[in-house]
Amino acid sequence: MKIELLPVVKLEQLTPTIYALHLRSTYIAGTIQPGQFVNIKVQQSNYPLLRRPFSVASKEDDTITIIFDVVGEGTHILSKKEPGDVIDVLGPLGHPFTMPGRGSIPVLVAGGLGMAPMPILTQTLADHGITDVVTFLGARSKDSLIDYKLKNVHFATDDNSKGFHGTVVALLDAWLDSVKAGKVTVYACGPNPMLRALQSALRKRSVGGQVSLECVMACGVGLCQGCPVASVKGDKKYELVCKDGPVFDIHSVII
C-alpha cells in the first residue's frame, strides 16, 4: 500500500447521482486484486476530515475506476472533479476475493452500488479462464441498476421497472433451485439487510460464498479499531472490516 496523488483521467456520469471516476495509477492498477479498496482524501482540508473508502471497480492498463453514489459531502466533492485534478489515494487495502474452487460456478450477487467490486472480479475470473460467470443485480429501480462491465446479468428491481419484480436474493434463490449446492461459489456485496437475507438463503441450501462488507472507517489500515464486524469463527469476537476484510467467508460474520 502507498499514498499517491493520482491524476483524474475522466469522470463519467452514469445516472443522476452515480459516477465512474477514472484515476491514473500504474502502481494500484498493477497490484489491485478484486474486492480490495482504496481510501480517498477527497480534498486537502479538514472538511471532510477522514478518508472515504471505495472499492476499485475495474482497471485497464494504468487506470483504475471507482464507481460511487453521491450520498454525502465527500462523494459530492468527488462528483465535481475534473480531468487534471489530483486526488490523494491510499491503497490498495484489505483482503481480496479468492478464486472459486475448480469446477465451481462463480455467482456474483450485488445490490445497488454493491456492484462496485464486481467488474474487476469478472475481469479477474476471465483472466483465470473462468468465463461461466452468472451475475444477479438488484436495485430499487432500473435507474440505479449499474451493469458497468458485468457479464450474463439477471436483473431484479423493487418497483418492477426492469427484470424480476422483487429482491435480488429472491431471484437468486429461485435460480439456485436449478443448480447443485456444491457447484456454485457466491460473491456478494450490497446493503446489510440484503446481505443478511442472502446469508440465510444460502445457509438453508448449504451454499458457501464470500461477502464484501461496508462500514464507516477512519484509517482503513488497522490503526483505529473503528470498523469491527462480529465474527462467529475463531476466538475473536470482532474482526476488522478494513484489515481482516472487507471480504469475508459469508457464513463467518454476523452482519
Partner 1 sequence: MTDISTDFTLGSMVCRNRVWVASGTFGYGDECPDLVDVNKIGAVITKSLSLKPRDGNPPPRIVETPGGMINSIGLANIGLQRFLEEKAPFLRALNTAVIVNIAASTIEEYKEVLGRIEEADCCDGYEINVSCPNVKEGGLSFGTNISMTAEITRVLRPLTSKPLIVKLTPNVTSVSEFARAVQDEGADAVSLINTLIGMSVDVKTRRPKISTTTGGLSGPAIRPVALAKVYEVVKSVTIPVIGIGGITCANDALEFFITGAAAVEIGTANYIDPNIAVTIADDIEQYCRNNGINDVADIIGTLQTDQTISVVKSWL
Residues that bind ligand FAD (CB under 6 A): 37, 48, 52-55, 67-69, 71-75, 113, 116, 214-217, 246
Residue of 223, 230, 232, 254 that binds ligand FES (CB under 6 A): 223
Residue 116 interface partner, choices ligand FAD, partner 1, ligand FMN, none, CB cut-off 5-8 Å depending on type: ligand FAD
* Cα 59 to Cα 30: distance, rounded to the nearest angstrom: 9
Residue 67 interface partner, choices ligand FMN, ligand FAD, partner 1, none, CB cut-off 5-8 Å depending on type: ligand FAD
- Asked if residue 38 lies in contact with residue 89, where contact means CB atoms within 8 angstroms, the answer is yes
Judged by CB, which is closer to ligand FMN: 130, or 218? Answer: 218
- Specify the amino acid at residue 168: V
Phi, psi of 110 (to 5 degrees): -135, 140
- Asked if residue 18 lies in contact with residue 113, where contact means CB atoms within 8 angstroms, the answer is yes
Residue of 11, 188, 213, 219 that binds ligand FES (CB under 6 A): 219
Q: Does 227 bind ligand FES (CB under 6 A)?
A: yes
* Residue 150: count of CB within 10 angstroms of its CB: 18
Distances (CA, A) of 211 to 107, 225, 240: 12, 20, 14
Q: Does 50 bind ligand FES (CB under 6 A)?
A: no
- Binding interface with ligand FMN (CB under 6 A): 224, 226
